[in-house]
Structure 1
Amino acid sequence: MTEAELAVADALSAPLDEVSLEDRIATFLIARGRLKEADLLRARRLQEESPNADFISLMVRLGLVSERDAAEALSEVLQMPLLSARDCPDAPPANVQLSIRFLKQYHVVPIGEDEQELHLLVAEPQDHYPLDAVRLAVGKPVTVRVGIRSEIDDLIERYYGSGRSAMGTIVENLSEDATRSEDDVEHLRDLASEAPVIRLVNLVIQRAV
């Protein structure tokens, strides 16, 4: 039995709460013929060189798994609904103001809102960091639908691409990449929610100091 086959067998026989999400995703993809064992081993070796990289996203970037297959696997394993961008509303929620740069960076887009919740379409639902940031920014819980990354990027462009203000564009270009750590969710909330003019003033002040 190969190393990949042993990994799949272990994942299938182990209690669900003892199996990592990436192993469950790999098992799902291999069982359905969407991922080759040799490619799984290749991805494992590359992940060892970049331990902070998300394993599922890494396989997609390497072309070992298609975006659609990854989305379907995440939807099935996490038991979250899969939603096509074609089935999303024609416009985003009117009262939700989030940074376009933030949405593009994390491949997250708001698709609906009610009094209780904000509905998001996301490409990487396993990443709780941006979900927590949006929840803090809007002040209400979020519900998640899984989407295909390229479709989400296209939807962001459709929702916001033609309506971005000149001021917003300046701010998006000036903003630096947010540092990902457990301590900067507050900063990310601010990044996700600040009005462009406020963010521009803050950035100018920071660069002048």
Structure 2
Amino acid sequence: MTSQLKEFISSAARPLPVILLADVSGSMAAEGKIEALNQSVREMLATFGSTDDLRAEIHVAIVTFGGEAKLHTPLQPASAVNWNDMVADGGTPMGQAMTLAADIIDDKEKVPGRAYRPTVVLISDGWPTDAWQMGLERMTKQGRAQKADRMALAIGGDADTEMLRRFLNDEKKQVLVAADARRLKEFFQFVTMSITTRSRSANPNEVPQMQNPFDLDRV
């Protein structure tokens, strides 16, 4: 594809925001989890960046929470992301991460009114270590964030699946579970498939009901 055609597609397409909330607390350093997470995100970004459609352009932001919640990757077209690996350390300030994600969605300079419905993806292997209630309220019951599509993954057997269910805030949805680092990659393949399907659909605001081809556990 020529650079001129890419420019035309970018200017004509409406943003489809994807915000990843990634647990990078100290426990993610064990059993190859942070390495699998970094590799999976790199592969997801590569696929998103090569997905050309006149209707939607996938934009990605990554919020990490380990010790503190911070914006690891500002919201931008996936094709423009210059990826830097995440490092695992510290506690699990999940509530702060949700607040930061809600702030991004509510900022009309970052997510303009013409953008398609955002998707927020939360991944964690543990329990929140901060006062998470306000962040959950912001994400599920306030502002534009409450209308976002949400996906959640519990890594291993120590994740707070009840918190992840509350984050989803949808009785029709279930938390997916990756028993190990290998299955973490499968979850990201499922996320990638779901988002690219939306971006190419007649109405990217509609979230398709997709069967999980990787047979990940659900709770």
Q: TM-score, normalised by structure 1?
A: 0.24
Higher strand share: 2
Query: For the pair shown, which has the larger CA radius of gyration, 1 or 2?
Result: 1
Structure of higher RCO (CA pairs closer than 8 Å, 6+ residues apart): 2
Q: More helix by proportion, 1 or 2? A: 1
